[in-house]
Every structure is written in structure tokens, then in C-alpha cells.
Amino acid sequence: MVPVNWWVLPWWILASAAGYAVGGAIESAAGPLEGVTVIGYVTAGGAAAAVLQWLALRRHVARAGHWIGTAIVGGAVVAVVSILAGVLAGLAAGAVGDAEAGRAFGEDVAGVSAAILYGIAVGMLQGRLLRRHFARAGRWVLVSAVGWIVAGLTAGVTEGVAGWAVLGAVYGALTGGVLVALLRQTPDETPAGEE
């Protein structure tokens, strides 16, 4: 394992900001963020961020290439669950009211559930990868979930690509601190058989 250099945290923040800015660029080109469209934009930005984050991880984590897959698979799982939640909510709302209002409500439910679940789903998959190499990697799931929610709340500071970059930078700063702590563990702190 390569010693952790000072540049890992700033690189992680920059990688996260630049990657999620891709989601903003897609939003700018394809249309405003509405309902279920959040799923595609978040998954695209998350995959781009994962590619850039992999550059920081590859010298410290064996099979770091799986990091990219965690973002794609996590996004796909969130898409299925969120769309299902949106369809069910839309059908229920349409059954008691107007069908068009039910459809709009279902899209909103899908978008909000995607925003909440993305950090959890990706964090769980990434946490599995990190647990193979580091003790106390379980906290990754919590920081990913909280980091995504906090980042989502701060993204509204500005709009468009800049807003997505802010989202990524906040998420990167929160998760990057935990990542550096994990990377700084000594070999006797690593899980048994993983040294």
C-alpha cells in the first residue's frame, strides 16, 4: 500500500465536484431537473465522479476499479426503487384524486426518494469494497448517506453546473475526511487476512 499523501483530500473534493458537474452539464443540455429526471442526472454525475475518485484510490485500494461499478449499480438500484415508489404513490394519489395530479405526485416521490436513497445505496456498495481493506470502514455508509443529503441541501446555493459542482464538493469534503482517516490506518488495523 502506498503512503497517504497530503493531496488525497483536495483531489477527492475536486474529483467529486468535477464529476457531479457532469450531471449539471447533462441537465443544462437535456432540460431542467424534474421528478424522475433526477435519477439519470445523479447517476451520470455519480459515475463521472467515481471515475475521477478512482484515480485517487487506485494506488491505495486493491481492485479500486470496482469503485466505478458501485456508482453505476447503486444508481441503477436507486432508479428501480425510486420509480417503483413513484408509480405506487402516483397510482394511490390518482385513485383518490385527479389522474394528472397523481402522475405529477408520483414523479415528485420518485425524484425525492432517489435523492435520499442514492447516498445510502452507493455508500453500502462502496463500504463493502472498503471493508475488505480497512477496519472501521462501516462508517462509510453513514457518511455517504449524510454527505449526500447535506450536499443536496447546499446545492441550491447556485444553479446549473455550478450548483452540481457545489453538491460534489460538499459531498467530497465530507466523505474525503473519512476516506483519509481510513487510508491512514496502520497495517495492524486492517481486517484480518487483508494486510
Q: What is the pLDDT of residues 106-139, one digit of tens each?
A: 877 877 787 788 889 999 999 999 998 888 898 9
Q: Residue 193: which region, alpha, beta or left (left: phi > 0; alpha: psi -120 to 50)? A: left
Predicted local confidence at residue 193, as pLDDT = 44
Predicted local confidence at residue 186, as pLDDT = 65
pLDDT tens track for 63-107: 888 999 988 898 888 888 888 888 888 888 877 777 788 878 887
Q: Residue 3: which region, alpha, beta or left (left: phi > 0; alpha: psi -120 to 50)? A: beta
Note whether 168 and 119 are within 8 A (CB). no
Note whether 180 and 9 are within 8 A (CB). yes
Q: What is the DSSP letter of 193?
A: T
Nearest residue to 44 (alpha-carbon basis) of 25, 67, 64, 28: 25
Q: Where are the alpha helices (DSSP H) in 31-65?
A: 37-57
**To the nearest whole percent, how much of the chain has pLDDT over 70?**
88
* Model pTM score: 0.81
